């Protein structure tokens, strides 16, 4: 029998290290390579939830009112063709891409989903631009705003999922992104309207979120401040 020199517990004959403290086991008098392990090595993972079936079910539920709307619109406004059903159809398509499509993949890549979602939102906005365009607002405003939003979403996922930062860093990243996005909005609005007044709101947003972001960075580096916050704001 072997004992852990660190914890003092007796170890199983098959143990190569102490499970409590990771200290390797070396017993020259008892080198039992073939001793049976106390537990099986066989890991049985239960089958995953049938995500595709749920996606199919939601798709059918979403499809039914769309077909009904399409038929009603066709029957009521026979001469002018479709009058309003395409508003319902395009909105449903966008919602389907945003909320149902991810369930069709067992393990969807987040960046691909963000790209697809951005394209869906752009397509939906372009539909209205195509119908009611009076000025070039899609190219100068909608497109840059959606693209920048998509890029920010990718950055957030990258930072949060891969680097797993502490909560003050997460909060700071979100605050800084809000400030930068407000600046992008300001530029887009200025390019579209050409008036400096349109800069006011983004400046206010930036002036609020930047100091808050800075505060969270300070919180991250200060143990005293974190302790003070947890004392003050416990629930």
Partner 1 sequence: MAKTKTQNKFWFKLDNAGKVFPGQNTSRWSNIFRSTLVMEEKIDPAVLEQAVKDVLPRFPCFDVCIKSGFFWFYLEKNPHDAPPVCEDINNPCYRVKFNENNRFLFRVFYRENHIAVEFFHALTDGAGATTFLCTLAAQYLRLCGHEIGVGGNVLNINEPAPESELTDPFYDYEGKHGRSGRSTRKVYHYRGTPLPPHTVGIITGIMPTDVVLKKAKEYGATATEYLSAVLLYCFYEQQKKETRRENDLSVQIPVSLRKPFNRKTLRNFTLTYSIRIDPSLGEYTLEEFIRQIMLNLRLVNNTKNLQAMVASNLKLEKGAMRYLPLFIKNLGINISFRLTGEHSTTVLFSNVGKLNIPPEMESHVQRLDFLAGPGKINGVRVGCGSIKNVLTVSFLDICKETEIERRFFTTLVKAGIPVKIVSNR
H helix or E strand, kind and range, residue 11: strand 10-11
Shortest CB 18 distance to partner 1, Å: 7
Shortest CB 226 distance to partner 1, Å: 7
| Among 27, 31, 32, 36, contact with partner 1 (rule: CB under 8 A) | 36
49 binds partner 1 (CB under 8 A): yes
40 binds partner 1 (CB under 8 A): yes
Contacts of 95 (CB under 8 A, 6+ apart): 62
Distance CA 137, CA 152 (A): 22
Q: Which is nearer to partner 1, 51 or 86 (CB)?
A: 51
Distance CA 91, CA 84 (A): 12
Contacts of 146 (CB under 8 A, 6+ apart): 118, 121, 122, 125
Dihedral sign, Cα of residue 48, residue 49, residue 55, residue 60: positive
Shortest CB 120 distance to partner 1, Å: 28
In the range 2-31, which residues lie near partner 1 by CB under 8 A?
Answer: 4, 7-12, 15, 18-21
Stretch that binds partner 1, among 45-53, 65-73, 105-113, 210-218 (CB under 8 A): 45-53
**Token pair belonging to 200:** 């006011």
Residues of the shown chain interacting with partner 1 in the complex, contacts defined by CB under 8 A: 4, 7-12, 15, 18-21, 36, 38-46, 49, 223, 226-227, 230-231, 234-235
């Amino acid at each position: 029998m072997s004992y852990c020199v660190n914890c003092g517990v007796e170890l199983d004959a098959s143990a190569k290290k102490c499970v409590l403290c990771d200290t390797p086991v070396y017993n020259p008098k008892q080198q039992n390579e073939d001793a049976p392990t106390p537990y099986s090595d066989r890991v049985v993972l239960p089958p995953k939830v049938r995500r595709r079936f749920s996606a199919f079910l939601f798709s059918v539920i979403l499809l039914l009112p769309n077909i009904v709307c399409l038929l009603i619109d066709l029957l009521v406004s026979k001469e002018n063709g479709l009058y309003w059903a395409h508003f319902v159809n395009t909105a449903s398509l966008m919602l389907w891409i945003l909320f149902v499509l991810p369930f069709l993949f067992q393990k969807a890549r987040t960046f691909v989903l963000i790209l697809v979602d951005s394209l869906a939102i752009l397509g939906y906005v372009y539909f209205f631009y195509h119908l009611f365009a009076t000025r070039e607002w899609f190219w100068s405003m909608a497109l840059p705003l959606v693209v920048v939003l998509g890029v920010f979403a990718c950055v957030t996922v990258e930072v949060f999922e891969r680097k797993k930062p502490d909560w003050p860093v997460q909060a700071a990243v979100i605050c800084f992104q809000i400030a930068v996005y407000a600046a992008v909005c300001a530029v887009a609005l200025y390019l579209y309207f050409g008036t400096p007044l349109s800069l006011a709101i983004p400046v206010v947003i930036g002036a609020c979120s930047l100091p808050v972001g800075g505060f969270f960075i300070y919180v991250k580096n200060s143990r005293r401040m974190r302790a003070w916050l947890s004392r003050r704001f416990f629930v």
